[in-house]
Structure 1
Amino acid sequence: MSGFDVGTRLKQLRQRRDLSQRELAKRAGVTNSTISLIEQNSVSPSVSSLKKILDALPVSISEFFAGEELASEQVFYRAEELTEIGDGTLSWRLVGARRPNRSMSILHEYYPPGADTGEDMLEHAGEEGGIVVSGSIEISVNGETRVLTRGDAYYFDSRLPHRFRNIGDTDCVIVSANTPPSFAEGGGTQHH
């Protein structure tokens, strides 16, 4: 990770809303110890569990990672300037995280073998699409599952429950975009 302090940021947002760890855990449907371990940076939350916690605040993923300061309207970004918002296994690097009034998210996604967005299907308002740059990925959307390989693409309504898994034995890289630039608009998580 590029040094983003997930634990401190979560604690800051929770305290700003006068929520105890217990109260936030209850609202998010996770254990107290999950919140405590994340705030101590002892564990990296999965994308789906971080989304559940942020929905309970509520704070969008992009707001969470933008932190306090918004940068001026930067145009070009070196690889090391992308903001890592993955969970320590899978890597999602966000272009222009601190850009004010951003109306889309562009991600460079990296899934090592076995990486998975989690059994809790992701669901949020908007649309998303992407192209597989290398490797292969199994994508499930609303009960339909396909394995996509290099050059294949996808585009779907993000309110449909979805999950990404690398079931192959090589790394998978995807370049994707979604709009609006927030994972927090959607509400509850759907279990399959």
Structure 2
Amino acid sequence: MDDLDIGGRLKQVRERAGLSQRALAKRAGITNSTVSLIEANSTNPSVGALKRILEAIPIGLAEFFALELPEKPTFFYRACDLVEIGKGPISYRQVGRTMAGKRLQMLWECYQPGSDTGRIPLTHEGEECGLVIAGQLEVTVDGARQVLSAGDAYAFESLRPHRFRCIGDVPARVVSACTPASF
């Protein structure tokens, strides 16, 4: 039970039921401080104590542990937290685990020498932009082609056919953003 956020789960079901900590404690026959300590994950209740608390809400143990808790907001990401969503010679490391409900997607991209997004240009709803950090990236948008180097950037409506290709002997690294999230 240590891996589960029992305190967060209890707080969520208590608030859904419209109960204060004091009201839940009174119904369950325990002290208000006990509910507070459990919700802060400062103490773990026994299974029997948790069952008694949940009966006061009322909710069963199975339903309690099956709850999908909303993800806690994350504001900062270490390099190791970026999620790889690409494969092969092009790496797309996404900021954030999921794009569900998000309007903006940001990526750390790495194109190995000679890699290419494909001979058939990409098209999708939205807008995208990027800043080349290292290497050289050939960007083709709506038939216009440009080789971009470190410090150069691109921005366009994504419905325009576009393609990316790494030229040169070193990987091309790009920080990009698109809206809405399209990967």
For normalisation by structure 1, the TM-score amounts to 0.57
Report the Cα offset of residue 97 of structure 1: 3.0
Question: What is the SS of the residue equivalent to 1:160?
Answer: coil
Question: What is the SS of the residue equivalent to 2:167?
Answer: coil
Is structure 2 residue 151 aligned with structure 1 residue 151? yes
Q: Is the 8 A contact 2:99 2:105 kept in 1?
A: no
Report the Cα offset of residue 147 of structure 1: 0.1
Q: Which residue of 2 aligns with 1:95?
A: 95
Partner Cα separation in structure 2 for residue 93 and residue 70 of structure 1: 23
Q: Which residue of 2 aligns with 1:112?
A: 112
Partner Cα separation in structure 2 for residue 131 and residue 180 of structure 1: 18
Report the Cα offset of residue 180 of structure 1: 0.5
Report the Cα offset of residue 112 of structure 1: 1.0
Higher relative contact order (CA 8 A, sep 6+): 1
Q: Which residue of 2 aligns with 1:126?
A: 126
Partner Cα separation in structure 1 for residue 90 and residue 73 of structure 2: 28
Report the Cα offset of residue 98 of structure 1: 2.2
- In structure 2, relative to structure 1, the CA distance for the partners of 1:149 and 1:101 (3 Å cut) is same
For residue 144 of structure 2, what is the amino acid of its counterpart? E
Is structure 2 residue 135 aligned with structure 1 residue 135? yes
Partner Cα separation in structure 2 for residue 160 and residue 138 of structure 1: 16
Corresponding pairs, count: 116
Q: Is the 8 A contact 2:129 2:177 kept in 1?
A: yes
For residue 110 of structure 2, what is the amino acid of its counterpart? Y
For residue 81 of structure 2, what is the amino acid of its counterpart? E
Quote the RMSD (CA, aligned, Å): 1.8
Question: What is the SS of the residue equivalent to 1:80?
Answer: helix
Q: Which residue of 1 aligns with 2:76?
A: 76
Q: Which residue of 2 aligns with 1:22?
A: none
For residue 152 of structure 2, what is the amino acid of its counterpart? D
Q: Which runs of 5+ in 2 are unaligned?
A: 1-67
Question: What is the SS of the residue equivalent to 2:80?
Answer: helix
Q: Which residue of 2 aligns with 1:172?
A: 172
**Cα shift readout 1:83-121 (whole Å, capped 9, x = no counterpart):** 111122110000013265211000000011011111121
For normalisation by structure 2, the TM-score amounts to 0.60
CA radius of gyration, larger in: 2
Runs of 4 or more off by more than 6 Å in structure 1?
none
